Amino acid sequence: MELRTDLLRGTLDLLILRSLTATPLHGLGISRRIAQMTQGSFDVKAGSLFPALYRLEERGLLAAEWGESDTQRRAKFYRLTRLGRKRLQVEEANWRRVAIAMEHALGSTS
C-alpha cells in the first residue's frame, strides 16, 4: 500500500517519538519499530528519517549518543528527553482528536 508522502511527513515526528517510548534505538531500529507499530503501513526510508531525527534532536525532543549496534557497528542511539515525552503526549492527544473527527466524517452518510 502506497501512502502519500505529505501524510507521512505530517505524522513522522509522532511516529518517531512513539517508537522511542520503551528504549533508545538507532536509525534502522526506529525505522523497523515504526514498520512494526504500523503493521507495515509505513516504510520510513533514511532520506526521510534522518532529517527528522536531526530536527527533533535540535528541538530538544531527542538526545543521542554513539554506541554499538547488534552487528558491532558504530551507531547513533536516540532517546526521548523529558521535553520529548511531553511533546509526545500533546501530539498523541491532537492525533486522537483528528482521528475521531475523520471517523465521524467518513462514517457520515450525508
Name the helix (H) or strand (E) containing 67: strand 62-68
Residue 44: pLDDT over 60: yes
Structure confidence at residue 62 as a pLDDT band (50, 70, 90): very high
Residue 70: pLDDT over 60: yes
- For strand 62-68 and strand 25-26, is the pairing parallel, antiparallel, or unpaired? unpaired
Structure confidence at residue 69 as a pLDDT band (50, 70, 90): confident
| Residue 89 CB burial class (10 angstroms; 0-12, 13-18, ≥19) | exposed
Question: CATH number of the domain at 5-107, out of 1.10.10.10, 3.10.20.90, 1.10.287.130, 2.60.40.2310?
Answer: 1.10.10.10
Structure confidence at residue 6 as a pLDDT band (50, 70, 90): low
At residue 5, the pLDDT reads 52
What mean pLDDT, rounded, does the chain reach?
89
The Cα–Cα gap between 107 and 13 comes to 28
Q: Are 34 and 16 in contact (CB under 8 A)?
A: yes
